[in-house]
Amino acid sequence: MARIFVEGWSPEYGSPLDQDETLAPTEGSVDTSVEMQDWAPIPGVDDGCERIAFVDGVRRIDARLTLDDPLEGPVPGICGTFAVGATVWERTERRSSVERIRLERWAVLAGGRPELLPAVDLEPSYATTTTASHDPYAQVMELQTKMRRAEGETASDLAAQDCFVVADGPLNDLRPGPAVGYIKSHRVTYLPPERNSVVGALAPGQRTPLFTIADYKRYSWYVRLATLAGGHSWTGVVRCEASGQLPLEQIRTIADRTAAVLPTVASEPHVDPRAPQNLVPIAALERELRHRMGDRRLVYRALRDAVMREAS
């Protein structure tokens, strides 16, 4: 029988079940037999991986722009900032550090406009790009795409240096390497109904068998981080994914590692409003990245001053 639960996440962060109406089944081609035919929870195995990097990015809309064209009329745009970096965890030395911070500012104009934003007294200043669409959402997505690309480059660089990478969000760079995409919220159910019961049966530190998402050329699996009082069957469950170009045995080692290690860095509800899915190293990284982006009010004032100087 279906029951009603109140989600543990603070409402301003959305929901771990991030869907418009209902958690719909995926339209992609999913193969649940790549690891085993008879599905059951699998315990994680910590293989002693020494260096783990947690990669994430944060973005912010600094201001809305309007280009006042006498003939075409007002043309919308945005100014936005994003910061990307990594928390690198040296497990044998029991220390972590925030590294490889990358900060970019972009002005995005609609309609393919070639105009450049005046120089703003910020470091770095704004580069200018454009979108064909006048839809404001398209401008935000252009900024999001640039941030995701920077995250992928950071993750790839770290993975090439003997570092196991956990990237917050789906993988954009699917080159073979020891990198995992870590997805906190669920928009679709990738599994058929008879397999979903295995997700609900997971204990903390366990994972589902592997399945492949053929349309996206990647392996995937679910991991239970923790159980919370009053939670439903998918509370504390995240989905992980890795490149479909890796050998199956390497994927199994990676999946076992995530099930063993990720619960040890899961956040607590009294500390993080997105607990347990927002991992402690990622939360620390987000705080540092927001600090590096600068105070929103000072950034806005620098923008206004630059535009006023240009007008005068």
- DSSP secondary structure letters along 159-197: HTTT-EEEEEBS-S--SSSSEEEEE-S-SEE-S-HHHHH
The SS3 of residue 293 is: helix
User: Across residues 10-14, what is the average pLDDT?
Assistant: 57
Predicted pLDDT at 228: 82
Q: Which two tokens stand for residue 265?
A: 């860095």
CA distance 219 to 34: 9
pLDDT at position 128: 94
- Write out the E strands in 22-50: 24-25, 30-31, 42-43
| Mean pLDDT, residues 21-44 taken together | 77
| Mean pLDDT, all residues of the chain | 89
Q: pLDDT band for position 190 (50/70/90)?
A: confident
Q: How many CB atoms lie within 10 A of CB 300?
A: 13
Q: What pLDDT is recorded for position 248?
A: 94
pTM: 0.89
104 SS3 class: strand
Nearest to 114 by CA among 131, 97, 100: 131
- Under a CB-based contact definition with an 8 Å cutoff, are residues 78 and 61 in contact? yes
In the three-class reduction of DSSP (H, G, I as helix; E, B as strand; rest coil), residue 244 is classed as coil
Indicate the residue type of 120.
V
Q: Out of 14-18, 94-98, 181-185, 253-257, which region has the weakest mean confidence (pLDDT)?
A: 14-18
Q: Which residues lie across from 56 on neighbouring strands?
A: 85
Q: Distance between CA 186 and CA 170 in Å, rounded?
A: 11
Element (H, E) at 137: helix 136-159
Residue 81 has pLDDT above 50, yes or no: yes
Range in 61-65, 81-85, 148-152, 168-172 with the lowest mean pLDDT: 168-172
Choice between 99 and 215, residue whose per-residue pLDDT is larger: 99
Nearest to 241 by CA among 24, 23, 91, 30: 30
Q: How far apart are CA 57 and CA 149, in angstroms?
A: 10
The two three-digit tokens of residue 21, written as one number: 């109406």
Q: Please give the pLDDT value at position 290.
A: 97
Contact 171, 219 (CB under 8 A): no
pLDDT for residue 17 is more than 70: no
What pLDDT sits at residue 20?
39
Rounded Cα distance, 181 and 137, in Å? 25
**pLDDT for 193:** 86
